[in-house]
Every structure is written in C-alpha cells, then in structure tokens.
Amino acid sequence: MKKILTLSVLAGLLGAVSVPAAVKDIYITGSTAFRAQAYTAIKNGLYSSTGFTEFPSPGAAGNSQWIMSGSMPGLFPGDTVVVHANFTGSVQGIYSMYNNADTKVYFKDTSGNLITNTATCAFSDVDSVSTSYPLDSGSFIELHVAVQPFVWVRNAAATTVITNISFQQMQSFMPLGKITLSYFTGNPSDSGKSIYCVNRSLDSGTRVTAYADAYVTGSPVVYYWNTNAAMYGGKIGFVVATNYLGPSLFSYGYVGGGDVVAAMNLATTNALAYLGIADAKNVNGGLDILSDNGFYPSSDIKTGVAVPTTPAFDNVKNGLYSYWAYECLDYPKTISYGGQDISGTDIDTFCRALGGYDNLYNFVPGATGSIDSVIATASPVISIRLGDMNVTRSAVGGPIAP
C-alpha cells in the first residue's frame, strides 16, 4: 500500500511538472503589396492582447519593417512568440527561401535595433514557378491565401486625357521605359513630349505580374525621378538608372510600392506606374487609377473618383479584369539552416493558421486567425477572398477560366 501511494504521489508530481516556456522567433519577408494584410492577421488573429507588444508602437500596417511579441495561445500555449517582419519584395522573399543558407535579411529585434537573420517564411504576389527561383515542392510548401488585384495609375502631373492603358500600348511602352506622349493621347502636338514608366526592381511580384499580364519580356530601360541636380549633371527629372547608379542584387527599379508612390507624387512630368490597390490610393488620393483594356478591377472604381472603402472587385472575380495574381505564403518543410530557434513543425503550424489551412492542407474559409477571416471583415478592402473568385488561372498572366 505504501508502495502504491508512493508511486501515485510520484506520478502526481511528474504530471504537475510543466515544460519550460520557450521563445519562438519567426522571420517573415516578401511581398510589399500584401504587408498590411499580413500585419493585421498576425496581430489581431493570432496574438493574445494580453502582454502583447510591438515596435514601432503603435505599429502601422503600411510599415515595411516591424516586430511583435507576445503569446499565441491557440498555437503555442505558454510560449512567447516573436514575429520579425521585413517586406522587401515577392521575388526577394522567394529567393530568401530558395537560398536561405546564404541569404541574410535585415530585421529588427525587440528593441528596434537592426539585426540580420535567415528568413523563416515569405509572402509572394506570384507563385515561385513564375520567378527565377522556383521552390522545390519536396522541400517547400506554397499556400494560396488570397487574390491580389493590381492597377496602373497616372501621376497627378500627367495629362487627364489618359484614362486607359491597353495591352498593345503596354507592349511598346514597357520595354522602352518612356515613349512619346502622343502614343497615349492621340494628339500630334504631344509628339515632342515624353511619358515615363516608373518601374519596380526585379524582386517585385507586382512587376512580375505586370509584365506577364502584358506578355512583355526582357529588361526595360529604368528611369528614376531625380531631385538632386548636383548629383546628376544638373538634371532634375527622370534619369536613366544605368547612367548614374550601380545595379543591386535585383537590378534597377524602385524597391517597394511606397517608393513608387513617392516618385509618382514628386514627378512633375507625365508618368505611369503599376501598383497594388493600397499604394495606388496614395497617388493623388487614388484619383488617377486607369482602366486596363477598358476595365477597372471593380465596377465602382473610376478615374477621377476616390476608391471606395469596400470595392466590389466584381470585374476580377468574374474574369473581366486580368491584372491580378494569387497571394502565396511560402515556407520550408524542415528548418535545416542556422539562425533559427523554431522547428519545421512549428512553422507549418503557424503558416497553416495564418493561411487558413487545416492539418490536411485543405483551405478553410473564415478560419479563426487566418488572412481570409481578416479580409472578410477588413476596412478598407484591398484584396479578394479565395472563395469569392468565380474564375481561376494556372499561372501568372495566364489564361483565365471559369
């Protein structure tokens, strides 16, 4: 009896012993166009409000870099989860996954200091197969989490005659980087003027989708808006990048959508650019979104009218508008590189919850804490839920089918 009691007491004591709490760090990179949705879903859907902190505080959905810390009781009870984010571009995010052992991305620590680390997962506006760094499906998982519409915009200084850009115009305009203004206005008196294409760098999913949608290949001439006459031979205006700058890892072009917005709002000559909806709303108050081959992404979006808070996006959903892509979440099946304190199993748990997938990788509409649930109640609306699409496509820029 005494032996049984002793064993019972021992069993009780062992049952009372808890596993020490762990700190799990997650490093997210990738799409700048999708940064707001990722921020909101992680903060409001996965974290507990108790003991939650973020830097900068208060955070902002439009920031490219931020850090959050706290508990995610639904995923990792008792642990502290620290999410570091640096949204650098879709292709660069995929590259970070593709070649993670050799790639260092700048993040922030809990004090706001810059650190470098390998990335854990990445958002991308395009499937990896559409890039130069296709992920091996045997080693990586790629989840579709939403649909991301994009638009062409003119800058505030551009002539208001331009309200539409056509497939044929893109094919001549985009490779050159600039073209005679009369090509868009039809006015012979504009033949002595130019209009410029404000390009993202090659790491941009927005750019990959724009060029795929227009069936344009090759490297365009890239122009930057310059305000420093002393640096660029006394010229204020658009300058050819190769004449003044050295190429980065992902060649010439603006790194983020916010950089394009800044250039478009500064430029005092005619310019067109491609952007996600959130950034397009910041070019002249969203009044200069153009129709694309005669259609806007939503029937309630028009040139010269402010973008509604909740666009219907009916033209995307029903196949009338083609400039869109699936938003993807990419991550490795096994964490096999240094600089990480989280397992492949835990990353899978985090990404499936964020993407809205069950343990069999079935998409679950409106799953708690998922991006889909955030988009369902978001204001403003800048993306489309997967379940709301009436059409599909198998590749970026590819045919659209019912």
Residue 188 scores a pLDDT above 70: yes
CA distance 141 to 121: 10
Question: Residue 315 in contact with residue 295, Cβ under 8 Å?
Answer: yes
Look at residue 318 and tell me if it is in a domain. Answer: no
Residue 63 belongs to domain with CATH number: 3.40.190
Residue 297 belongs to domain with CATH number: 3.40.190.10
User: How many other CB atoms are found less than 10 A from the CB of residue 294?
Assistant: 9
DSSP 130: G
pLDDT in tens, 127-148: 999 888 899 989 999 999 999 9
140 & 187 share domain: no
Question: Mind giving me the DSSP string for 15-59?
Answer: HH--PPP-EEEEEEEE-STTHHHHHHIIIIIIS-STT-EEESSS-
Look at residue 396 and tell me if it is in a domain. Answer: no
Question: Residue 298 in contact with residue 180, Cβ under 8 Å?
Answer: no
88 & 229 share domain: no
Residue 280 scores a pLDDT above 80: yes
Over residues 204-227, the mean pLDDT reads 91
168 & 302 share domain: yes
* pTM of the model as a whole: 0.86
Range of the domain at 274: 150-312
pLDDT band at 53 (very low <50, low <70, confident <90, very high): very high
pLDDT in tens, 221-273: 999 998 877 766 677 899 898 765 554 556 788 888 889 999 999 999 999 99
Over residues 33-50, the mean pLDDT reads 91
Per residue in 67-86, is it b (16+ CB within 10 Å) or e — as a string?
bbbbbbeebbeebebbbbbb
Q: Which residues pair with residue 143 across a beta bridge?
A: 329
Under 8 Å CB-to-CB from 80, ≥6 apart: which residues?
21, 22, 23, 24, 69, 70, 71
pLDDT in tens, 69-98: 999 999 999 999 999 999 988 988 898 888
